Chain A
Amino acid sequence: MLINAQDISVRISDKKLIESISCNAAQGDYLCIVGPNGSGKSTFLKTLIAILPIHSGKLMIDGQSISQYRHKKLARLISYVPQNGGNHLTFIVDDYVRMARYSHHHVFSEWQTHDNEVVENALNITECQAFRYRKMSTLSGGECQRVMIAAALAQDTPVLVLDEPTAFLDPHHQVAVHQLIRKLNQQHNKTIIEVTHDINHAAQHSKHVLALLDGKCLWHGPAEQFLNAERLQQLYQQAFVFAKHPHHDRLIAVADES
């Protein structure tokens, strides 16, 4: 098991952000984390990359407790795509993506041809070649998001952790990013852990869904069983109606506004 969380809790000055959450992810898994705002989704992600320390419980990454990892070693296993798009950064795209190779180098090591290949590959998969020499602050939201994913790919890790990667994108770019993540999961066998508000995306594309409410696990199970009227009502305090997708038999959920 690549990631194994048992009963983990996180507190910041006596405030419980998440409480006894357990979940697993094996190589090639695709886990979506859903839940209302403030339910602890991002907090959970941040424990995986050791930005936030866990207060109790056990978090094993590749068979070793996370507290025993040096940041650099952890960064060779897990890469992270943060929530905001990076539009505030003034780096050149190319520099920013190259910087992600940090964990594979030490202070005197030379830039290798392998590094170049990984960076080129990351820029190709995410289709960032067209603007690789531009400043990130001049890019559109969708382009910037792709650059953030490209940088995480250049880190060349088996696990990719994404925090709402499609939050600010138009439908076309949402689909493009979803397809990209699926490709990474299916063709490159990357383990994906993604926080999303798009419940249909979670139900259709991921393998497992973890639903969080008020920092606790509400439901954890296979993605195809996730869409359930009662569960969604409880999770979001919102009624949903369901319909069959015209192209395949899976359900799609729509928030009931009536």
Chain B
Amino acid sequence: MSIKLKLIALSLFTILVVIISPWLDFSAAGSADIQQMIIYELRIPRVLFAFTAGCGLALCGMVFQAMFRNPLATPFTLGVASGASLGAAISVYTGISFTILGLSATSLSAFAGALIAISFVYSISRFRFGFSGETLLLTGVAISFFFSSLILFIQYLSNVADSFQIIRWLMGSLTVVGYQELKQLLPFVTLTAVVIIYLSRELNLLMAGDEIATSRGVSVKYVRYALFFVTSLCVGAIVALCGPIGFVGMMVPHICRLIIGEDHRYLIPATLLFGGSFLVICDTLARLVIAPAELPVGVITTLLGGPFFLWLLMRYKSQH
């Protein structure tokens, strides 16, 4: 099957997922008004929100894998998400609340956390000599642990209500009412997608290594800065609004690579489509598994992602 045909099939699959998901487990009980309310104010916004977050997470994961030339590198494995989480936790603890350009204090501190974490990873990855993919991942894990313990420390200091709020939010959730969160998230994911699509040829060349990319005419430094900046923004926004939903960014791009191939001109749309529908499916599962109660979606993605991560790690090890 040609790549274009595969992309069309994937689009159809995505449309199907997005259309069906709101109606699953929909009881006909209650008045027509309540039913409409549930569909238009709860289910549809939630599916759209999940789709957008999934697009963003998958895209950021894909960019990290390409930039670091390592299938295990994602904003989550490299500690960027825990940096964002720490920022958000600090803002919950201190209780500061303000908005700049429609961004809440939580979002802004999540951005700051993401940027700090990513600059750590980047400056460590600049030590060229003796630097390997393993060092990078270990650095990411170390940064992750460091930030996680700071989050625990903040929780310990907080009162019960704040502490519960932080825990609940760390599990990752896509529960929304109305379109407010979607409106906040959409600009970031759109901006990230536009920048990444704009840089798709550069991403292809970066996969060949920095030296080859430079010799072909890519300004590697600026491309990296641009990508780091938009992915931090995107991960910061997603973490601030939905909590750290793990493993989507690692699984989705990898599965798409297996189906579509390495060319980013096709890989980016595939990752967008599949990332969105994947998170919608996970969220629907989270709603259905112990219905009428629901699981945090982060539990589902991590349960799926853990084994996948191990499988990838073993494959990666056996190749190198």
Taking beta carbons and an 8 Å cutoff, which residues of A are in contact with B? 46, 49-51, 70-76, 78-80, 82, 86, 89-92, 95-96, 99-100, 102-103, 105, 107, 155
Contact A51 B214 (CB under 8 A): yes
Q: Does B262 contact A (CB under 8 A)?
A: yes
- A-B contact list, 22 entries, CB within 8 Å: A49-B215, A50-B214, A51-B210, A51-B211, A71-B218, A72-B217, A72-B218, A73-B217, A74-B217, A75-B217, A80-B215, A90-B262, A95-B262, A96-B208, A99-B201, A99-B205, A99-B216, A102-B201, A103-B217, A107-B198, A107-B201, A155-B216
Which residue, of B205, B211, B215, has the highest number of chain A Cβ atoms within 10 A?
A: B215
Contact A70 B263 (CB under 8 A): no
CA gap between A70 and B220 in the complex, in Å: 11
- B interface: dominant SS: helix
CA gap between A99 and B262 in the complex, in Å: 12
Q: Can you add 17 more A-B contacts, CB < 8 Å, to A50-B214, A99-B216? A: A46-B211, A49-B214, A49-B215, A51-B210, A51-B214, A71-B218, A72-B218, A76-B217, A79-B215, A82-B211, A89-B207, A96-B208, A99-B201, A99-B204, A99-B208, A102-B218, A103-B216
B157: chain A residues at CB < 8 Å are: none
A107: chain B residues at CB < 8 Å are: 198, 201
**Given A107-B198, A107-B201, residue A100 in contact with residue B216 (CB < 8 A):** yes
Residue on A with the closest CB to B219? A71
Chain B: residues with Cβ within 8 Å of the partner, total of 21
Contact A51 B219 (CB under 8 A): no
CA gap between A76 and B212 in the complex, in Å: 14
Contact B204 A51 (CB under 8 A): no
A73: chain B residues at CB < 8 Å are: 217
A90: chain B residues at CB < 8 Å are: 262
Contact B263 A75 (CB under 8 A): no
B204: chain A residues at CB < 8 Å are: 95, 99
What's the count of A-B pairs with C-beta under 8 Å?
A: 63
CA gap between A50 and B202 in the complex, in Å: 17
Residue on A with the closest CB to B221? A71
In the complex, how many angstroms separate the beta carbon of A154 from the nearest chain B beta carbon? 10
B220: chain A residues at CB < 8 Å are: 71
CA gap between A75 and B219 in the complex, in Å: 11
CA gap between A140 and B279 in the complex, in Å: 41
CA gap between A95 and B204 in the complex, in Å: 10
Q: Ordered nearest first, which 4 A-B pairs have the shortest CB separation?
A: A75-B217, A103-B217, A80-B215, A72-B217
CA gap between A80 and B210 in the complex, in Å: 13
CA gap between A78 and B215 in the complex, in Å: 8
Residue on A with the closest CB to B223? A71
B205: chain A residues at CB < 8 Å are: 99, 102
A103: chain B residues at CB < 8 Å are: 216-217
In the complex, how many angstroms separate the beta carbon of A51 from the nearest chain B beta carbon? 5
CA gap between A123 and B205 in the complex, in Å: 19
CA gap between A61 and B211 in the complex, in Å: 19
Residue on B with the closest CB to A137? B319
A82: chain B residues at CB < 8 Å are: 209, 211-212, 215
